[in-house]
């Protein structure tokens, strides 16, 4: 007797092997049959003739952990479930909601609050990683999740929000906190090396923390120090070094490459804007995907040498971060009040502008104007568009470029950025892109990552119930399958599914996930291969995908056609060694 029987589907099992016709039987949340059901009896039967049956998609780089503790997270995370995501890895980019510690608690809260706008007194009822994970399990989860321990939070916990390398004793303190977090269930360590405080670490600090990961066979993930084409090699090498020195798994997060044309940058950006405008009718055959091939080649070479390193990519040329990430590191030292005081100072603003316009991007970035990911210098003042603000008065700017805001206000873009940050008390999240978000010209810059069989697909999802979401939050995987795998014939369906399921589960050691096989958890998607796609766009992102017919999480029918059924919550917390 089955609780669920999916009959006559084409099973793409997540391994990369060719699909095959089979029935899939489920009992008590587990897959108990992949084959032919003889005289089947089942509480629920799905006829899947001419449909694809595959594992639920596993997002290796998400920030859904920043909302999954909320009582209303079922609704907030609905876009993820509707596109077939059944499991996500949270705690990325060195930021998570635990462990919060006591030594520098106020600085930790300010660091997290800039992104999340959480009310710590009202929202947070835990301190340790174990307490956070216990809270998730007690409240119930709409989908499966595994959480990384956050390097940025661990570092502030230990030494505060200051600009310098950590001492031996301070690294020992971070190591002890990391060890405890993994003992309590974190699956590894994430870093956000572009940002304060991660940018103030050096490779030796990360290698030392990697010893704790070695002890637990845990993973090391990294938002790199730089995604600039000129320093991207060093940034990827740093992850490879930490992995190799400790014999641990490493993961390069949301890989992309920003061209650096040096003094010719403004002229080339003007040329690029012309090609972007033309791409509505004709896409120039410029090899703009060449920069992304280099880190992929680095990854493959390291793997040939025995280093177990992976990589993920978002199928979009439009990223997102907080507006303060565009500022020189010296602006961000100390707490939020100190940062606000600096950007309110007219003399400091002049210095910020000079640093951005004249700074030399060297490796590694740590102070002054010599940071290696000077986004405004690399991409121009036009690169930033507002994603989310906290106040009603500035909601009209969501989706609007910083340059347009500056023109409206009659000021330089850096003045507009500083004024907006002051008005929002630091809460400004932005999109970043070289041209129009997701235009046909810059779109080609990430094709090499989509094609490569060993590069995972990720959303970088941050759904907080505010602002303008990325289209990826609504249709990342359906668009990857429909537009790129089927429409552009970039890769076979079996490879595309593996990149989104089995490859992630294998690298992150998610036991019993990412496969359609007997004995695995019943995280299952049924979709129409001829129809699957996403209508979501940058301007109109809040559109659910087409072609996703059924989504099951641990055997529970969560998406049934156009119906979303989040209750009772079907997700499970995946702790280290589970």
pLDDT tens, position by position, 121-130: 888 999 999 9
Nearest to residue 90, comparing CAs of 14, 196, 186, 155? 186
- Over range 360-388, report the average pLDDT: 85
Q: What is the DSSP letter of 171?
A: H
- What is the Cα–Cα distance from 198 to 194, expressed in whole angstroms? 7
Question: Between 372 and 126, where is the model more confident?
Answer: 126
Q: Is the pLDDT of residue 266 over 80?
A: no
Place of tokens 């892109």: 433
- What is the Cα–Cα distance from 118 to 138, expressed in whole angstroms? 20
Encoded tokens for 504: 């992630």
Residue 480's pLDDT is what? 98
Contacts of 185 (CB under 8 A, 6+ apart): 129, 130, 133, 147, 573, 575, 576
Residue 188's pLDDT is what? 98
| Residue 281 burial by Cβ neighbours in a 10 Å radius (0-12, 13-18, 19+) | exposed
Residue 282's pLDDT is what? 76
Q: Is the pLDDT of residue 1 over 90?
A: no
Contact by Cβ (8 Å): 547, 528: yes
Ordered by start, the domain boundaries in the chain are 56-321+437-492, 322-432
Q: Is the pLDDT of residue 367 over 70?
A: no
- What is the Cα–Cα distance from 544 to 562, expressed in whole angstroms? 9
Encoded tokens for 68: 């999954």
**What is the Cβ-side half-sphere exposure of residue 339, based on CA atoms within 13 angstroms?**
28
Contact by Cβ (8 Å): 79, 473: yes
- Over range 514-520, report the average pLDDT: 98
Encoded tokens for 292: 């992304």
- What is the Cα–Cα distance from 438 to 295, expressed in whole angstroms? 22
- What is the Cα–Cα distance from 168 to 78, expressed in whole angstroms? 45
DSSP lists the bridge partners of residue 312 as 456
Helix (H, G, I), strand (E, B) or coil at 84: coil
Share of the chain above pLDDT 70, in %: 99
Q: Is the pLDDT of residue 313 over 90?
A: yes
Residue 404's pLDDT is what? 96
- What is the Cα–Cα distance from 162 to 207, expressed in whole angstroms? 21
Cα 323 → chain centroid: 17
Encoded tokens for 295: 């880190």
Band the pLDDT of 365: cuts 50, 70, 90: low
> E-assigned strands of 91-204?
144-147, 149-150, 188-192
Residue 366's pLDDT is what? 66
DSSP lists the bridge partners of residue 258 as 228
Nearest to residue 70, comparing CAs of 143, 119, 113, 123? 123
**Backbone torsion region of residue 367, taken as left when φ is above 0, otherwise alpha when ψ lies between -120 and 50, otherwise beta:** beta
Contact by Cβ (8 Å): 23, 508: no
**Tens of pLDDT, residues 529-576:** 999 999 999 999 999 999 999 999 999 999 999 999 999 999 999 999
- Over range 267-282, report the average pLDDT: 76
Domain 56-321+437-492: which CATH class?
alpha beta
Q: What is the DSSP letter of 479?
A: H
**Tens of pLDDT, residues 157-193:** 999 988 889 999 999 999 999 999 999 999 999 999 9
């Amino acid at each position: 007797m089955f609780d669920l029987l999916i009959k006559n589907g084409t099973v793409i099992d997540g391994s990369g092997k060719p699909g095959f016709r089979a029935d899939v039987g489920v009992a008590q949340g587990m897959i108990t049959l992949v084959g032919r059901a003889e005289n089947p009896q089942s509480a629920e039967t799905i006829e899947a003739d001419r449909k694809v049956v595959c594992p639920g998609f596993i997002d290796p780089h998400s920030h859904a952990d920043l909302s999954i503790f909320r009582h209303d997270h079922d609704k907030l995370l609905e876009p993820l479930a509707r596109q077939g995501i059944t499991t996500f890895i949270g705690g990325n980019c060195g930021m998570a909601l635990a462990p919060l510690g006591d030594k520098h608690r106020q600085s930790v809260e300010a660091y997290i609050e800039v992104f999340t706008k959480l009310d710590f007194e009202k929202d947070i009822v835990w301190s340790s990683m174990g307490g956070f994970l216990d809270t998730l399990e007690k409240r119930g989860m709409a989908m499966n999740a595994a959480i990384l321990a956050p390097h940025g939070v661990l570092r502030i916990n230990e030494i505060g929000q200051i600009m310098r390398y950590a001492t031996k004793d301070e690294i020992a303190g971070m190591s002890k906190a990391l060890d405890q977090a993994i003992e309590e269930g974190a699956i590894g360590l994430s870093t956000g090396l572009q940002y304060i405080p991660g940018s103030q670490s050096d490779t030796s600090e990360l290698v030392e923390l990697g010893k704790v990961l070695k002890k637990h066979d845990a993973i090391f993930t990294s938002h790199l120090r730089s995604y600039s084409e000129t320093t991207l090699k060093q940034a990827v090498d740093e992850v490879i070094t930490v992995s190799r020195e400790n014999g641990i798994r490493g993961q390069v997060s949301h890989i992309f490459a920003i061209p650096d044309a040096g003094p010719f940058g403004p002229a080339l950006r003007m040329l690029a804007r012309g090609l972007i405008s033309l791409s509505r009718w004709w896409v120039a055959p410029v090899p703009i995907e060449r920069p992304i091939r280099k880190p992929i080649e680095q990854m493959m070479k390291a793997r040939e040498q025995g280093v177990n390193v992976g990589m993920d990519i978002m199928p979009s040329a439009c990223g997102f971060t907080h507006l303060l990430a565009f500022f020189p590191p010296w602006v961000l030292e100390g707490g939020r009040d100190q940062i606000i005081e600096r950007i309110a100072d007219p003399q400091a603003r002049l210095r910020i502008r000079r640093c951005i316009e004249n700074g030399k991007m060297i490796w590694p970035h740590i102070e002054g104007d010599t940071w290696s990911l000077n986004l405004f210098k690399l991409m121009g003042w036009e690169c930033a568009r507002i994603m989310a603000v906290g106040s009603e008065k500035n909601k009209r700017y969501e989706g609007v470029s910083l340059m347009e805001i500056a023109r409206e206000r009659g000021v330089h873009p850096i003045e507009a950025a500083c004024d907006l940050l002051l008005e929002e008390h630091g809460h400004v999240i932005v999109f970043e892109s070289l041209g129009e978000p997701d235009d046909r010209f810059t779109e080609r810059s990430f094709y090499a990552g989509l094609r490569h069989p060993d590069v995972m697909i990720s959303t970088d999802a941050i759904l907080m119930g505010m602002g303008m979401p990325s289209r990826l939050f609504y249709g990342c995987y359906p668009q990857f399958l429909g537009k790129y795998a089927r429409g552009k014939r970039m890769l076979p369906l079996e490879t595309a599914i593996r990149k989104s399921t089995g490859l992630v589960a294998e690298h992150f050691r998610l036991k019993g996930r990412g496969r359609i096989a007997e004995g695995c958890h019943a995280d299952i998607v049924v979709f129409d291969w001829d129809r699957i796609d996403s209508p979501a766009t940058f301007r109109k992102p809040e559109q659910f995908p087409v072609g996703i017919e059924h989504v099951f999480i641990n055997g529970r029918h969560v998406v049934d056609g156009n119906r979303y059924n989040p209750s009772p919550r079907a997700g499970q917390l995946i702790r280290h060694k589970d």
